[in-house]
Amino acid sequence: MTDAPSSPPPAVAVIGAGPAGLMAAERLASAGLRVTVHERMPSVARKFLMAGRGGLNLTHSEALEPFLNRYDAPARARISGWLDAFSPADLTAWAEGLGQATFVGSSGRVFPNAMKASPLLRVWLARLEGLGVEIRVRSRWTGWKDGALSFDTPEGERLARPDAVVLALGGASWAKLGSDAAWVPALQEAGAVVAPFRPANAGFDVAWTPLFRERFAGQPVKGVALSHGGRTVRGEAMIAAYGVEGGAVYALSADLRDAVARDGAAELTLDLRPDQSREALTRRLSKLRGKDSLSNWLRKAVHLDAQAVALLREAGPLPIQPDALAARLKGLRLTLTGVQGLARAISSAGGVTLDAVDDHLMLKARPGVFIAGEMLDWEAPTGGYLLQASFASGVVAANGVLDWLKTR
């Protein structure tokens, strides 16, 4: 008597080969499922690789409460659940499990020792291959056809009928890297509510004088504190030809973007010397400056670099009185007149609303379809928060698939 042949394990299609999609694929394959990843671009994880060009900031080492407060308030409670499933410590341990040792930078951000994304991605893809994950590039999902997934491939249309689906197609920023939001009509047809996309972690327009723009575009303004709407962030801003950008600006970008949309402009206040009080600066600036010009005196007395001095002048002629000059140093106001668009934004807000998915990230309108990553409507500043939530959402979606398949 021979045993009856066992049925093959369930098949799952993961659509989108960024951090969320690849993490979901790893979890599902590790659980013994047959996983096929579809990516419309010629290679995988292009935006992930771009993020690592200046140093791959995987996550952040700060305590959970301030960590969670970095996310936009409407999504914070849901993201808290994602981080319960895959915490910053879990992400660090995962990277080190791939042989990628990490370190914590002076700002608390966590990086792999190699800094770049490519070494980590190489060993990650090798692990996925060892788990039996099949990756199909140039396989563009076009929606559903007669209940099957439809893909546009170099060989023509291909249909697939997996047991479950994870969609991780990205948001709407950096379309040339693959996140073009072309999936929106198919999801809306399926009954999902999709919030309009808006730029997140984007720069802002400032009407610089031509001389300032020509001389200082591309220069950083370091060690500053930026304030808007009662919030203050310390870090670095970058002068751009069109205005300002950089990590400290991105941390306030959601509120600044909304203010520009509402009022037509937003005010950003810079404290160029946040570690010194106005009184202390006034005392320093009250000393005789001799034959030095005011600009040279500022460089010597309060250690301002040329771009910071030029920023002070952009607000008008420099005050001569020490107290007035100290006041400008502590409260330099920039008027932001516009927001850079999605094509230049690091990430996007908007996407499938969180009310459209359950706690396992399954699309309520289409059981068996799970959503992960920037396709969902949440936003966070740079500094490790974007990648952390993307990875974690992939874990939550994979866990959701496993739980859902058990009920079938």
Q: Per-residue pLDDT tens for 34-60? A: 999 999 999 999 999 998 788 999 999
The pLDDT confidence band at residue 173, using thresholds 50, 70 and 90, is very high
Say what the pLDDT of residue 4 is.
54
Homologous superfamily (CATH) of 11-199+347-406 is: FAD/NAD(P)-binding domain (3.50.50.60)
Exposed / middle / buried, residue 325 (Cβ in 10 Å: 0-12, 13-18, 19+): buried
Judge whether residue 17 has pLDDT over 80. Answer: yes
Q: pLDDT, tens digit, for every residue of 255-306?
A: 999 999 999 999 999 999 999 999 999 999 888 777 788 888 888 889 899 9
Say what the pLDDT of residue 57 is.
96
C-alpha distances out from residue 238 to 157, 216, 269, Å: 46, 10, 14
The pLDDT confidence band at residue 171, using thresholds 50, 70 and 90, is very high
Q: What is the mean pLDDT of residues 393-398?
A: 98
Judge whether residue 235 has pLDDT over 90. Answer: yes
The pLDDT confidence band at residue 371, using thresholds 50, 70 and 90, is very high
Main-chain phi, psi angles of 136, to 5 degrees: -115, 110
The pLDDT confidence band at residue 6, using thresholds 50, 70 and 90, is confident
Residue 228: CB atoms within 10 Å: 20
Residue type at 300 in one-letter notation: K
DSSP at 37: E
DSSP-derived secondary structure for 315-339 = TSSPPSSHHHHHHHHH-EEEEE-EE
* Residue in 153, 155, 124 with CA at minimum distance from that of residue 15: 153
Q: In the predicted model, what is the mean pLDDT of the chain?
A: 95
Say what the pLDDT of residue 47 is.
92
Q: pLDDT, tens digit, for every residue of 182-205?
A: 999 999 999 999 999 999 999 999
Residues 12 and 33 sit within 8 Å (Cβ to Cβ)? yes
Rounded to an integer, what distance in angstroms lies between the CA atom of residue 207 and that of residue 242?
8
Judge whether residue 1 has pLDDT over 50. Answer: no
Residue 109 structure tokens: 């951000």
Residues 302 and 328 sit within 8 Å (Cβ to Cβ)? no
Residues 163 and 405 sit within 8 Å (Cβ to Cβ)? yes
Residue 263 structure tokens: 């009022």
Q: Where are the domains of the chain?
A: 11-199+347-406, 204-339
Rounded to an integer, what distance in angstroms lies between the CA atom of residue 40 and that of residue 27?
22
Say what the pLDDT of residue 29 is.
98
Rounded to an integer, what distance in angstroms lies between the CA atom of residue 60 and that of residue 55?
13
Greater pLDDT, 295 or 334: 334
Strands 11-15 and 34-39: parallel
- From the centroid of its chain, how far is CA 274? 27
C-alpha distances out from residue 130 to 6, 49, 56, 133, 134, Å: 23, 22, 25, 7, 10
Residues 127 and 26 sit within 8 Å (Cβ to Cβ)? yes
The terminus-to-terminus CA distance of the chain in angstroms comes to: 30
- What contacts 302, CB < 8 A, 6 or more positions away? 273, 276, 281, 284, 285, 329
Residue 259 structure tokens: 């203010």
Judge whether residue 357 has pLDDT over 70. Answer: yes
- How many helices (H) and strands (E) are present in the chain, helices listed first? 15, 20
- What contacts 371, CB < 8 A, 6 or more positions away? 166, 167, 168, 352, 357, 361, 362, 363, 397
Judge whether residue 220 has pLDDT over 90. Answer: yes
Give the three-state DSSP class for 148: strand
The pLDDT confidence band at residue 217, using thresholds 50, 70 and 90, is very high
